Amino acid sequence: MASTLYKRIIIETLIKYLYTNDIIVIHGARQVGKTSILMYLQQQLQGKAEKTCYIDLEDNRYTSILDQGVDNFLTFLREEGYPLENLIGTDKKLFVLIDEIQYLADPSPFLKLLADHHHEIKLIISGSSSFEMKGKFSDSLVGRTVNFEIYPLSFRELLIFRGVHFIPKLQMTDKKVKEIRDLYEEYALYGGYPKIVLTSDVSMKEKYLQQIIDTYIRKDIRDLAEIKEVTKFNNLVALLASQSGNLLNITEISNTTGLAKQTVERYLFLLEQTYIIRLVHPYSRNLRTELFRTPKVFFYDTGLLQMLWLKRMQRELLGSVFETSVFSELVKLYSPEQIGFWRTKDKKEIDFILYRPEGVLPIEAKLQFTHSIPTALKSFWKYGDPSLVDFRLVGLNGTPNLPKMIYPWEL
């Protein structure tokens, strides 16, 4: 029996580019649902009587065909019954969906030739590592691609996957608030990987997350970067997990793990490019100051964070894990580039600064709603533009008692 294909929120943006000449590039960590997105798009296209061809490059038979070049690929398509000549000069296309493009030896010239000379073919491709794809994608593709980063599910997507009726910004009864709050707590505890969300048994969730860690973090990433100090690398990842939401102290990490500072910096770059962590830089009106001050480290997924840090799923939500879940939600609603934080020399701190066209928005994450506005928010207003007095305090437990206090699903 075929598995259900769910509509991810990003689909609405993706479909705007289906009939352009752009190569649609979908990239993100393994197991976040890239293949399901390709299959959903294929299903929708077939429903409109469009011709589609799905190719999984984890099957080395297809990798061999594509590595031999465009002419060989076109021959393959004709052999499979796709009448390319009949599409030339029409407004119809053959939609070719290629999964795991990074397995090609040199994808750039292959993709460029198809994009430039075969407008009867629309390419939609996926890849699992920004690091590996950047290494194989040349500047020749500039202007020919439109790129989409795929992350684990957002909380609203979790509700879709679970079939929970939810209308944003609609006033809810106390009963509905409790239902949504309980689901958010589960989401924050176990993370947003689709397989984890769709599994009800906690021990199975742990097993699946451990498999992601063993096969993706401890094998794929290690092999990708030819990491020799495997134990130290694993210790580094576990240490970072314990510090999600904290300032990044490379000297301390170097001393704790026994890795040279340059090696730590290289591994941090690698973990960012493979969608495990994100370094968040402090907000400052002076760009030079902003770039050279200490960043914070955040994990994208709270389930992975806890398995790496605590070695098992927890039953009680920790404050640092809740803060990381809020970061994860902001990334999916906006983008990593739109998120910073604020910290003064006397250690006043605001968890997140959201960069918006209408002005920055300070956001505090508190597991328990507070009864008053935190001092740091008042300090930020004095530091910033007094005409932009706005903030959000995001909490989960207790009752919001001011209009600017919201639940995570109200972000």
Q: Taking the model in full, what pTM does it have?
A: 0.91
In the three-class reduction of DSSP (H, G, I as helix; E, B as strand; rest coil), residue 289 is classed as helix
- State the Cα torsion 87-92-93-95 to the nearest 10°: -140
Contact predicate 144/23, CB 8 Å: yes
Distances (CA, A) of 85 to 46, 76, 78, 294: 20, 14, 9, 57
The sheet with strand 339-343 has its strands ordered as 339-343, 349-354, 361-368, 392-397, 405-406
Residue-level pLDDT at 1: 38
Residue-level pLDDT at 138: 65
Distances (CA, A) of 275 to 32, 148, 229: 10, 13, 21
Please name which of 231, 232, 230, 256 lies closest in space to residue 243, comparing C-alpha atoms: 256
Domains (range + CATH), the chain: 11-150 (3.40.50.300), 156-410 (no CATH)
DSSP readout, 248-263?
P-HHHHHHHHT--HHH
Q: Which pair of structure tokens corresponds to residue 329? A: 């939600």
Q: How far apart are CA 389 and CA 36, in angstroms?
A: 42
Residue-level pLDDT at 327: 98
Ordered per-residue pLDDT tens for the chain, 411 residues: 357 899 999 999 999 999 999 999 999 888 999 999 999 999 999 999 999 999 999 999 999 999 999 999 999 999 999 989 899 888 899 999 999 998 999 899 999 999 999 999 999 999 876 666 666 676 678 888 999 999 999 999 999 999 999 988 778 899 999 999 999 999 999 999 999 999 999 999 999 999 999 888 777 777 777 788 888 999 999 999 999 999 999 999 999 999 999 999 999 998 998 889 999 999 876 656 555 589 999 999 999 999 999 988 888 999 999 999 999 999 999 999 999 999 888 888 999 999 998 888 999 999 999 988 888 887 787 665 554 568 899 999 999 988 889 999 999
DSSP readout, 17-84?
GTTSSSEEEEEE-TTSSHHHHHHHHHHHHHHTT-EEEEEETTSHHHHHHHHT-HHHHHHHHHHTT--H
* β pairing state of 277-280 and 296-299: antiparallel
Contact predicate 355/339, CB 8 Å: yes
* β pairing state of 361-368 and 392-397: parallel
Residue 349 backbone dihedrals phi, psi, to 5 degrees: -145, 140
